[in-house]
Amino acid sequence: MARSDKAEAGTVLVTGAAGCIGAWVVAERVKAGLPVHIFDLSDDRRRLHLLLDVEAAASVPWTAGDIADFDAVERVVGESGAAAIVHLAALQVPFCRADPVAGAKVNVVGQVNVLEAARRAGIRHVVYASSVAALPIAGEARPSTLYGVFKQADEGAAEIYWRDWGVASVGLRPHTVYGPGRDQGLTSAPTKAMVAAAAGLPFTIPFTGPLQFQYARDAARQFLACAEAAVEGAPVLDLGGPLVTVAEIVAAIRAEIPAAEIACEGDPLPFPAEADGGPLDALIGDIGRTSLAEGVCASIAGFRDLLARGLVSAG
């Protein structure tokens, strides 16, 4: 993989870092001793506290602001001295359904604001989160959710910014990310099941079928590797990862906690079960993907510790 020394050693601006993948991205930078700056709607470090001690989490520069406010976005890009942007600010499926206007502002206007701020600042390392939800399921012409439609628009905007102004970017499509910090969104249910099992409580995952299961730390490392890559164009790449069924996830949880009362029921998720991670590996190399057994084991061990310290709850 071709890397930019400036992008690797310079400040990475992370939008939406109060969320799951964002918190992991920040934690990876902090643990590596590399500069990072957060831009999020509020100064909520709760998920960072799951991954870093209080002092380390407090040391990260954090600017509170609205991703839909272009002036605020342009200002933080300049003030942070960003060499790269990892754009993760978004409203997920349930929130877009509940408030479509807010979903469009955050997910579509926010994307354009980041691309435009990068264009004006001359930043050539932009990585943003699309989603497998941007892909239509078999037999359909378009994504099946507003969130998916918004993410498809983000991919199109990135392509136009490359064609018209030479703003290079990489869009990454996660599927079902899990692990500490994954506590909201449609695909957070397997993680909630692990928390419940660690707490000795029952939980039913409200969907079944196959999906690609992606450990949050792996996803964060893939986003950061793309932020360091020298990219021409605006490729959109899938994270890849092991294809498993929800029943296999339930079995993996029970392998760690045999008495766990975890079940699954319902229809499969409303987007494709699997996407090819090969092109991403070709760009950044194989950074190593955590297996189902390893990821579930690490997550449950982490949740036991976090429950004991009162940092998460199963309620």
306 in a structural domain: no
**Alpha helix ranges (H) inside the chain:** 5-9, 20-31, 48-51, 54-58, 70-80, 93-98, 100-104, 110-121, 146-165, 189-199, 216-228, 246-256, 278-284, 292-308
229 in a structural domain: yes
45 in a structural domain: yes
68 vs 4, residue with greater confidence: 68
pLDDT at 5 over 50: no
Three-state secondary structure of 4-69: CHHHHHCEEEEECCCCHHHHHHHHHHHHCCCCEEEEECCCCCCCHHHHCCHHHHHCCCEEECCCCC
State the pLDDT at residue 25.
98
Q: Tell me the C-alpha distance between 1 and 218, whole Å.
A: 17
State the pLDDT at residue 50.
96
Number of domains in the chain: 1
What CATH number should be reported for the domain holding residue 145?
A: 3.40.50.720
Task: Check if the beta carbon of residue 51 is closer than 8 Å to that of residue 21.
Answer: no
**Average pLDDT of the chain?**
94
- Residues 6 or more apart from 247 whose CB is under 8 A from it? 208, 264
258 in a structural domain: no
181 in a structural domain: no
Which one, of 97, 49, 11, lies nearest residue 312 by Cα?
Answer: 49
Which one, of 41, 45, 43, 37, lies nearest residue 12 by Cα?
Answer: 37
State the pLDDT at residue 186.
85
The predicted-structure confidence for 246-271, as pLDDT tens digits, reads as follows 999 999 999 999 999 999 999 999 88
State the pLDDT at residue 156.
97
**pLDDT confidence band for 8 (50 / 70 / 90):** low
Question: Domain range for residue 224?
Answer: 5-175+216-240+272-289
266 in a structural domain: no
167 in a structural domain: yes
Q: Tell me the C-alpha distance between 256 and 233, whole Å.
A: 44
Kindly state the tokens that stand for 14: 């992370």
79 in a structural domain: yes
Query: Residues with catalytic annotation?
Result: 147
State the pLDDT at residue 7.
57
Kindly state the tokens that stand for 300: 């449950």
